[in-house]
Amino acid sequence: MQATKDTFYVTLRDRLVQRDPNLTIVIDGATRPAIVVVENEPPSSLARQNGAFYLEWGGVRSAHFPTSTLAAMDCAITYTSAGQSDSGGVDRGRSLAALDADLLAMCCPAQAHKNDYSTGTALDLGSYIFWSTPEVKPAKVAGEQVGRQALVTVFFYPEVNQQ
Amino acid sequence: MENPHFSSPQIDGQQCRAQRMANSMVCALGATEVSLRIAEPSSGDTSSQLGITIPMVEDVPLSPAIVMDITAPHEALPRYEVKLSTDSVQQAVSMYHVDDVGNWLLTALGLVYEDKVLHIDNVIVQKSAGANYLYRIFASE
């Protein structure tokens, strides 16, 4: 299961770098692509930043029990925008739309080779993960921010010797 | 260049007065040292993004400090209030080039006090005449 989480994140991150290399954030002094798995970060660094995608893993279930071992895992992707400071925030909707487009581009094609990253390098596990089209929820306004959440279901076959 | 003696002498005086008061209070009442546990800058590589690399931490001593146990009778876990003056944090702030002290304290990994690592729940920065003079850290085990 961890390999699925890691593969999904690394795939989306690499696609984001290709699509929009300038979309970065700084966490703990390191500049990195603006996509974060919440459970992988120190609790102290979780002040959320605008213009970044935050991935939170949800429940896991069997997708076709008992005919198949295919499993499904939910992932919520949250992102917000406050627009540009020199525009008074009136472009925050446009910024959010750009993030929407980035998300849809990152999620396409909806499959990837599953790799094991536990040793620090990618080890091909010989199978694929695939996922649903993002279900993009309505935008919510909170103060100067506008943001939304997208839900993706990631499908995978649990590896015999993998967690 | 603006002459500081004629710019706002009353406000400058008020800033110094509050800071001296806080420094005196902390020196007189707090012979305690606490340490702020901060994370060293992340490498930002894939392993750190995946939560594989354990972040290095550093304990930054802050003294003098007043540590008060503010645990309410019905609370199971101890809570503390730690008071720090500008002198208490001055050396660390200079060393780490901190601009926003309140946020730096709030986003630290924890507070080390008597071999216990406390979780920082909240930080209140008290100001007088626009200048910080007392940092109140609320922490719990």
ipTM of the complex: 0.81
Binding-site residues on chain A for chain B (CB distance < 8 A): 6, 9-10, 13, 27-32, 36-37, 39-45, 47, 117-118, 120
Burial (Cβ within 10 Å: 0-12, 13-18, ≥19) of residue B40 = exposed
Chain A residues in contact with B51 by the CB 8 A cut-off are: 37, 39-41
Q: Is residue A56 part of a domain?
A: yes
pLDDT of residue B5: 47
Q: Is residue A161 part of a domain?
A: no
Whole-number percent of chain B with pLDDT over 90: 28
pLDDT of residue A44: 63
Q: How far is CA A98 from CA A81, A126, B133, in A?
A: 10, 34, 43
B10 against B94, higher pLDDT:
B94
pLDDT of residue B98: 86
**CATH number assigned to the domain comprising residue A133:** 3.30.2000
Q: Is residue A54 part of a domain?
A: yes
Contact criterion met (CB below 8 Å) for B37 and B58 = yes
Contact criterion met (CB below 8 Å) for A75 and A35 = no
Could B41 and A47 be called an inter-chain contact, meaning their C-beta atoms sit closer than 8 Å? no
Could B41 and A120 be called an inter-chain contact, meaning their C-beta atoms sit closer than 8 Å? no
Q: Is residue A7 part of a domain?
A: yes
Cα distance between residue A161 and residue B13, in whole Å: 69
* Predicted confidence (pLDDT) at residue B2 exceeds the cutoff of 50: no
Cα distance between residue A157 and residue B12, in whole Å: 67
Burial (Cβ within 10 Å: 0-12, 13-18, ≥19) of residue B136 = middle
Nearest residue to B123 via CA among B107, B131, B109, B115: B107
Peptide bond into A109 cis (omega under 30): yes
- Out of A30, A47, A118, whose CB is closest to B42? A30
pLDDT of residue A163: 47
pLDDT of residue A161: 60
**Mean pLDDT, consecutive 10-residue segments, chain A of 163 residues?**
94 96 85 92 75 95 84 96 80 92 95 91 91 95 91 90 53
- Out of B49, B52, B55, whose CB is closest to A32? B49
pLDDT of residue A20: 93
Q: What mean pLDDT is predicted for residues B99-117?
A: 88
B52 interfacial to chain A (CB closer than 8 Å): yes
Nearest residue to A157 via CA among A118, A129, A125, A123: A129
pLDDT in tens, B72-82: 888 888 999 99
Domain limits for position A115: 2-156
pLDDT in tens, B119-137: 998 999 998 888 889 999 9
B109 interfacial to chain A (CB closer than 8 Å): yes
B39 interfacial to chain A (CB closer than 8 Å): yes
Q: Is residue A73 part of a domain?
A: yes
pTM of the model: 0.72
Phi, psi of A91 (to 5 degrees): -100, 15
Domain count, chain A: 1
pLDDT in tens, B24-56: 888 888 778 899 998 877 777 888 888 888 878
B54 interfacial to chain A (CB closer than 8 Å): no
Report the first-to-last Cα separation within chain A, whole angstroms.
5
Peptide bond into B55 cis (omega under 30): no
pLDDT of residue B35: 93
